[in-house]
Chains A and B, each alone.
Chain A
Amino acid sequence: MAGHSSHHDHGHGTKVFADGPLEHHETHGTIFQRIILPFIWLLLITAAEFFIALVIKNEDNKTAVDITFVVMTLVKAFFIVSYFMHLKFEFKGLKWSIVFPLLFIVYLLVLMVLEGTYMYNTLVG
């Protein structure tokens, strides 16, 4: 591939780069669908988080509120990664080689939550 050094723009859409043409092209939906809508969702979820933290949260509902916060955070992460970082529209191979290794984080999390509970019970309980 590196041998194809011809390097010019063939008008709109198809470009030939130093290391070959890019087969996959970018336009998926309008700017509203790709950028504005995810942005509105991020703003709304963040605003809801502030509302919950300042108005709804109290000593009695703390656990339920904290779980809600984590779920909202994961939804926001989904919007950033799939739309802003465009991962939703990438090839399957790229998508899964990024998403699958994240399971190791879940594994570490489970491991350390168990350890944290044990430490709490030993030191405090």
Chain B
Amino acid sequence: MATPVIASSAPDAAHQATPTLWGGARRPMGARYGKLMMWFFLLSDAFTFSGLLIAYGVLRMSHEWWPNPEVVFQSVPFVADYGMPLIFVGIMTFILIMSSVTMVLAVDAGHKQNQKMVTFWLFLTIIGGLMFLGCQALEWEHLIHQGATMSRNPFGPNYDPVNHIADFSAPQNFAQLFFTITGFHGGHVFSGVILLIILFINVVNGNYQRSGDYEMVEKIGLYWHFVDLVWVFVFTFFYLI
């Protein structure tokens, strides 16, 4: 007796009938719609950040003098107001790299359908994101306290953090560029944390365990890694060079 063809075996049959990748009936990019669209969104976001960073580069290049990052960023909140260059941003960078690693581990646990471990790693990732946001708030508060605003830059050649002397005779767009670009990045971290919290609730409720499909963890993971990627560039161009 002939077995009736069941619907779920049809894609496999079509797959065998069309051996070419672009011949139809299979995914030529090997990824489903949602993940593909996340990638293209991130590509467009990469253009946005490139636009901001390149504008910063051009403005910086066209000036003879520019604030030295080791002078501007030398405070560690609650520890020292000056004298510890780049230490605090080092901590922030470490937090973000760590949260990227915990995110990868969450994605990996998702592939293994391990609900408990996905929950655990996502929780750590959310904590990392919140810690980064807290650090950024503290750093902004310090810079604003030193006199930096969207239109004024106190970090001129005679800026003295020891005696609290501001010098406004330097390129005024330094502080504006700093707040805009780190703010835009921080906004991404913030929306990333919101997405992670929604994801966390869904994982805890077992939504993905029931459907056997943890791809949402992968998609939001892509976004989270992108935020880390942007920070790598912001870190180099604002704090190192």
Nearest chain B CB to A20's CB is how many angstroms away? Answer: 5
A84-B85 contact in complex given A117-B61, A123-B62, C-beta closer than 8 Å: no
Quick one: which of A76-94 are within 8 Å of B by CB?
Answer: 76-77, 80-81, 83-86, 90-91, 93-94
A6-B228 contact in complex given A53-B240, A108-B51, A113-B57, C-beta closer than 8 Å: no
Instruction: Answer whether residue B93 sits at the interface, using C-beta atoms and an 8 A cutoff.
Output: yes
Quick one: which of A16-54 are within 8 Å of B by CB?
Answer: 16-17, 19-24, 26-27, 31, 34-35, 39, 42-43, 46, 49-50, 53-54
Query: In the bound complex, how far is the Cα of B64 from the Cα of A124, in angstroms?
Result: 7
Are A24 and B47 touching (Cβ within 8 A)?
A: no
Are A15 and B232 touching (Cβ within 8 A)?
A: no
Interface positions of B (Cβ within 8 A of A): 6-8, 10-12, 15, 21, 25-33, 36, 39-40, 43, 46-47, 50-51, 54-55, 57-64, 70, 85-86, 90, 93-94, 97, 100-101, 103-105, 108, 111, 211-213, 218, 222, 225-226, 228-229, 232-233, 236, 239-241
Q: Which residues of A contact B104 (CB under 8 A)?
A: 34-35, 83-84
Residue of A nearest to B233 (CB): A73
Are B31 and A91 touching (Cβ within 8 A)?
A: yes
A-B contacts, 24 listed (Cβ < 8 Å) = A6-B6, A15-B212, A17-B213, A19-B33, A20-B11, A20-B27, A21-B11, A23-B27, A31-B108, A35-B101, A35-B108, A76-B232, A80-B100, A83-B104, A84-B101, A85-B225, A86-B218, A94-B30, A112-B54, A112-B57, A112-B58, A116-B58, A120-B61, A120-B62
